Amino acid sequence: MTECECSEVHQRRRVVLTGGPGAGKTAVLELIRQFFCSHVKVLPEAAGIVFGGGFPRESDLECRRAAQRAIFHVQRELEATGDSHGPAIVLCDRGTVDGVAYWPGEPDLWSSLGTTLEQQLGRYDAVIHLRTPLGQHGYNQQNPLRTESATEAADIDARIAQAWERHPRRFMVEAFSDFLDKAERALEILRGEMPECCKRHVVPVLRDRPRHANGIEPTRPAQGG
């Protein structure tokens, strides 16, 4: 994080960065941590905390439901810690709605948790969805917690897209042949959510690159949903 000369108290905006396995969230989040100002609070991924901490990752339905309930509650508490620092942006590595894409069978996730989709969508001001590339276009399994094949990852990505489709400010970032083009588009969308005093922070490694013919241009990104 870089320091910001601004000392104003900002109105917090909660933004989700989501996408299927292998979409590039980890790399984009690292760029944000390195080059965006300290008014952007980046939260860790709840699923990584749950499974990395040894929560059983079993294939039977009840264990899968238990895991998603655990992830939901960890996500909510992570967001509470992010809010406590008075940031301009709380950037979530996935949000509570992602659980729909992983939830098996009936009753549905929201009935199980005593909440609704509308309540959870309302928790977030914007959603940035990085699309998972196809196997021949850069999908990899380097993350030791990633167990999905390229086909399974694409299926999960589609389910995540469907889960968030009713959010009024969802931005879809397609898989570019050059990953830095994809990262640049995601960072520009996030910059658009920031207060004016913070928008001057530009990622140097991306700022100085020549624009690809299919890369992002300084226009309003398309919204889905």
Those residues with Cβ within 8 angstroms of residue 17's Cβ, 6 or more apart along the chain or in another chain: 25, 28, 29, 91, 92, 93, 94, 128, 130, 186, 190
Q: How many domains does the chain have?
A: 1
What's the pLDDT score for residue 150? 80
Q: What backbone torsions phi and psi does residue 171 show, to the nearest 5 degrees?
A: -115, 125
Strands (DSSP E) contained in 30-83 are 40-42
Which of 101-110, 111-120, 141-150, 213-222 comes out lowest in average pLDDT?
A: 213-222
Q: Are strands 170-173 and 223-224 parallel, antiparallel or unpaired?
A: antiparallel
- The mean pLDDT value for 86-110 works out to 96
- CATH code assigned at 87: 3.40.50.300
Those residues with Cβ within 8 angstroms of residue 222's Cβ, 6 or more apart along the chain or in another chain: 171, 172
pLDDT tens readout for residues 127-153: 999 999 876 545 555 545 545 678 889
Q: Is 5 a member of any domain?
A: no
Q: Is 1 a member of any domain?
A: no
DSSP string, 124-167: -SEEEEEPPPPGGGT----STT----HHHHHHHHHHHHHHHTT-
pLDDT tens readout for residues 22-56: 999 999 999 999 889 889 999 999 999 999 999 99
Q: Is 4 a member of any domain?
A: no
Q: Is 54 a member of any domain?
A: yes
SS3 category, 173: strand
Residue of higher predicted confidence among 11 and 205: 11
Q: Could you tell me the pLDDT band of residue 213, with boundaries at 50, 70 and 90?
A: very low
Query: What's the rounded Cα separation, in Å, for the pair 47 and 168?
Result: 25
Q: Is 2 a member of any domain?
A: no
Query: What's the rounded Cα separation, in Å, for the pair 190 and 48?
Result: 23
Q: Is 7 a member of any domain?
A: no
pTM summary value: 0.84
Query: What's the rounded Cα separation, in Å, for the pair 2 and 25?
Result: 20
Query: In this structure, what is the dihedral angle of CA atoms 206, 212, 214, 218, given to the nearest 10 degrees?
Result: 50
219, two tokens? 């226009």
> Which residue range forms the structural domain that includes residue 91?
13-224
